[in-house]
Amino acid sequence: MTEFINNYFKIKERNSSIKTEFLGGLLNFITIMYILVVNPSLFAHAGMDFGGVYLATIGAIVIGCLYMGAVSNYPIIIAPGLGINAYVVYTIIEAMGYSWQSALGCCFVASAIFLLLSMTSFREQLINSIPECLKVGITSGIGLFIAFIGLKNGSLVIANAGTYVAIGDMATPATALTAVGVILTLVLTILRVPAAMLLSMLILTIIAYLAGMLQMPEHFFALPTGIDTTVGGLELSQVPDMIPIVLVILLVTMFDTTGTMIGLAKQAHLMKGGVFPNLRGALMADAFASFWGTLLGTGPSSSFVESSAGIMSGSRTGLTAVVTGLLFIFMIFLFPIAQAMAAVPSITAPILIIAGIHMFNEIRTLEWDKERIMFPAVLTCVMMPLTYSITNGVAVGIISYVILNLAARKREDIHPLLYLFAIWFLLDFLKII
């Protein structure tokens, strides 16, 4: 058996060991465990059953990690993406008024297209059509967007008639707990404490319980409820009227996860001559997980930067991802604990805020001295939280990029597909389509 595992995952060839790969999988499991509370709590805001989304989240993780590990042989975690799922919940459902069934229908169509494109080279061409500055603007904008959602959910930012937004009342328990959570998570992160986000959530749970804000479940172990309300609950009837939304989900999911994968492969020294071996196979993992995840009852999946925890410990093969995926199966029975933690928004809000800050960090790579590049990127970034829509940010960014580069006579920097995207979004803004 040991010989088979070594040969199948090429463990010795990549200068690793079975023990190292198992420990890396366990470490990745611990660092990403917070997603089982945060992702279902997001969709609970949209009226979905927490238990159903909890099981769908586990299903998507298991499918994605097993595919990434057993088929693609990379130590990379695949799980439902917080950025894109926050967009699904707070923009498509909450702000635009679509039902969660129709929103998941859009995610399913985008994921199906995503899966088909991943089988061809067109996915890479589509990713390359988006200029680097807009990728930076979109990633950073999504970071601001989910950080803003975390601030709002944790009552650190509240609505105000005069100034639109204002700081929350620090004397209230919920706001104070969120503030403590943000500081605690940042300190643990800066100190490089393993599983900082999970540890922070556990500490906040204890504080909330002692403060009388959290009611512990009667039973710590039980199977999720409400599964039948989410599995296969998506609807496709409104999708033809939501094509711009489908396009945004497709674009954001594609290049977000691609960038993360390439970065992790570099960290693990798996790149060969600057080339990502078996890139198509790796890209198939998140597409496969997204497709089945939407059918189970959650949003699109993505590769997670937390995979670096296992990589830093020496993981180099897909056995790490397989171990991570298998460990999540046992989390099905801890559903009552996750549900109790999610009932207190101040426990999960700091995670959204810190995750958003991490994504916003990408803005540092922008070429600030080139105005035709800088302006579209910044417009993309700020329009997302200020209009409460990733779609608006992407649309404004693409339209402004095309116009400014045409004005600067830099037509060679505009991919032909960008003209189509710009025209489509402009017509959508003008309500012509």
| Helix H or strand E segment including 80 | strand 78-80
- Residues 352 and 85: beta-carbon distance below 8 Å: no
Helical ranges in 211-272 per DSSP H:
227-230, 243-267
CA distances to 46, 59, 169, 247, 316 from 53, in Å: 11, 9, 32, 24, 31
Which two three-digit tokens encode residue 350? Answer: 């700091």
Q: Which amino acid is at 188?
A: L
Helix axes 132-153, 243-267, angle to 10 degrees: 100
Instruction: Count CB-CB contacts under 10 A for residue 2.
Output: 8
Which two three-digit tokens encode residue 113? Answer: 């297209």
Classify the phi-psi angles of 371: left when phi > 0, otherwise alpha if psi is within -120 to 50, otherwise beta. alpha
Helical ranges in 45-90 per DSSP H:
50-66, 82-87
- Residues 45 and 337: beta-carbon distance below 8 Å: no
Instruction: Count CB-CB contacts under 10 A for residue 70.
Output: 16
Who's near 405: CB < 8 A, 6+ residues apart?
A: 372, 411, 413, 414
Instruction: Count CB-CB contacts under 10 A for residue 226.
Output: 16
CB burial readout 229-261, b (16+ within 10 A) else e = ebeebbbeeebeebebbbbbbbbbbbbbbbbbb
Give phi and psi for 301, each to the nearest 5: -105, 165
What CA–CA distance (Å, rounded) separates 308 from 312?
6
Place of tokens 């979004």: 425
What CA–CA distance (Å, rounded) separates 432 from 418?
19
Q: List the pLDDT tens digit at each of the 433 positions of the chain.
A: 788 888 888 888 888 888 888 888 888 887 788 888 889 988 988 888 888 999 999 999 999 999 999 988 888 889 998 888 988 998 899 888 899 999 999 999 999 988 888 787 776 676 667 788 888 888 788 788 888 888 988 889 888 888 888 888 898 999 999 999 999 989 998 998 877 877 888 899 899 989 888 888 777 777 777 777 788 788 888 888 888 889 888 887 876 676 677 667 766 677 666 566 777 777 788 888 999 999 998 999 988 877 877 777 778 888 999 999 999 999 898 888 888 887 888 888 888 888 788 878 888 888 898 889 999 999 999 998 888 877 788 889 999 999 999 998 888 888 888 898 888 888 878 877 6
Give the torsion sign (CA, 90, 95, 100, 101): negative
**Residue 220, SS3?**
coil
- Residues making up the chain, counted from first to last: 433
Helix axes 416-429, 390-407, angle to 10 degrees: 120
- Residues 34 and 40: beta-carbon distance below 8 Å: no
- Residues 347 and 216: beta-carbon distance below 8 Å: no
- Residues 107 and 297: beta-carbon distance below 8 Å: no
